[in-house]
Structure 1
């Protein structure tokens, strides 16, 4: 069966509910799942934006926060607007998510970072915050953070972000089944259904 590639950005609001429910839904659908962290900032710059569209367009930003409140309430997810500037910088978290792939802790780490960002008012750019998350998962935080600083990991994230752009991804979350692109948390179920038919 064809896998669903879950492309997400740690600063992305709508990636939060997607990350919190995708593993359960993919399991129920018996669809393989690939976690693909990337950076949305470089892709937005390619589109001529130097900030999130939710900041550039005030009405869109107001709607997004209200919409996310409704989505999280329906899913039973906590939501507290980050006190730090939105969107938060997810660079270090994305590099760590790549580090975790070999040891299998990327999904748990990803969910914990999203909770820290959108439910706990934590600074996800802070190595202290990330180390606490890693330690809570039983991961050697010092070793993981050291590996995340290495050139091979930095290059992997850069390459993964370039791949996202090359494959037509323009926002997060996005779901790819082969070359078929689905964009947005509200397209998750459709993406899984497509993968089952593929």
Structure 2
């Protein structure tokens, strides 16, 4: 029996960008159901590391490696890439929209559009006007979705998702979770899909 695969991602995460643009196609090809799981890294970094910034900014040596690594990865996978002029950008609104759009047919396309806007077009995804343009570009009426995203229900869902990420032992992004196993990093997608397909593992 094939298990669903949860893809835990953060819109401000560079490696989530690479994973998010690949994972739906790879899951579809393998016949593995995909569940999008947006969450916020900021609260986890504060609780786990005591910082209020990206570890890539806090550690410039690590940051320099990451930016060059992203160039290589995007070239490898044929993904558009432009280093954002602001990093990390605020992702709360986009994440709330993703929560509000759960089970909507446009959700995957919206997620990819937000990532491309941030990491290929250098657009400010924290702004509602940008999110509205992305939704309209998908043929989605933006105003009702944005209104739903700022309700207490959507806010609570994003907080609960972030709390669940912490409870799962998530410490970065992206992550795949399937059959009770956590696979950290966009380079573990194939391993996670294989695990989802095989229920005979110990």
TM (normalized to structure 2)? 0.96
Q: Please, which of 77, 80, 96 is the counterpart of residue 79 of structure 2?
A: 77
Tell me how far 1:194 sits from its aligned partner. Answer: 0.9
Residue 14 of structure 1: SS of its match in structure 2?
helix
- 1:139 paired residue number: 140
Whole-angstrom CA distance in 2 between matches of 1:112 and 1:170: 25
Aligned-partner Cα distance in 2 for 1:134–1:192: 29
The answer as to whether partners of 1:172 and 1:184 remain within 8 angstroms in 2 is yes
Distance of 2:85 and 2:66 partners within structure 1? 16
| Distance in 1 between residues matched to 2:154 and 2:81, nearest whole Å | 31
Equivalent in the alignment of 2:158: 157
1:103 offset after TM fit, Å?
A: 2.3
- Number of residue-to-residue matches in the alignment: 197
Structural RMSD (CA):
0.8
What's 2:131 paired with?
130
User: Match for residue 70 of structure 2?
Assistant: 68
Indicate the residue corresponding to 2:112 in structure 1: 111
For 1:25-36, what aligned pairs fall within 5 Å after superposition? 25-36=26-37
| Alpha-carbon separation, structure 1, partners of 2:84 and 2:146 | 23
Contact 2:46 2:52 (8 Å CA) reproduced: yes
**TM-score (structure 1 length as normaliser):** 0.97
Superposition misfits of 4+ residues, deviation over 6 angstroms: none
Report whether the alignment pairs 1:95 with 2:92.
Answer: no
How far apart in 1 are the matches of 2:192 and 2:147?
35
Q: Write the distance in 2 (CA, Å) between the matches of 1:50 and 1:117.
A: 20
